[in-house]
Amino acid sequence: MIGTSQAEVGAPGLTQLLVAGIGEMVLSRDPRSILVAYGLGSCVALSAWDPISGAGALAHFMLPGGPVAGSVGGPPVKTIEGGLGIFLDAFVRQGGQLRRAQFKAAGGAAMLALLSGGLEIGRRNGEALISGLESRGLRLLARDLGGGAGRTVQLEVGTGRLLVKSVSTVATL
């Protein structure tokens, strides 16, 4: 799929690490897979996991809105406005069902409050994500949004556990 990063599994039983860069998404049904988004500042990561099919997905959104996501070879989930539907469609194609999926989100920090001139990208990203899900009749099961610290997230496809790491804390959603 365009915009997904994938790593090869070296041998049976080894963990498969799939990394979602900025504006990218990664998907897997392999219970050994760990889906990762590194260095979330004002960006927001959204995980989706279906406990029945075992499908897991992780998106690394950069902005609340803007030009159509994926246009002219651009990142498919750069913006929440244009990329959320692309992400959800990819999750369904992977075997996930939206009505039974567990959605979790992290990120949206106010990392550059003084430099951004009051743009509040992190806060706006969190609001856009929640609004985008709600408009589709979906909701977050858990969230770690806002604050002032960057995060890295890891979705364990085998369990649906989302590990959220920051400089000062580690939380499981």
Catalytic residues: 43
The C-alpha atoms of residue 1 and residue 164 are separated, in whole angstroms, by 26
Q: In 3D, which of 68, 103, 108 has the Cα closest to residue 88?
A: 103
Q: What angle do CA 37, 129, 144 make, to 5 degrees?
A: 55
Counting beta carbons within 10 angstroms of the beta carbon of residue 148, is it exposed (0 to 12), middle (13 to 18) or buried (19 or more)?
Answer: exposed
Question: Is the distance from CB of 9 to CB of 75 less than 8 angstroms?
Answer: no
State the DSSP string of 82-139: HHHHHHHHHHHHTT--TTT-EEEEEE---TTTTTTTT--HHHHHHHHHHHHHHTTT--
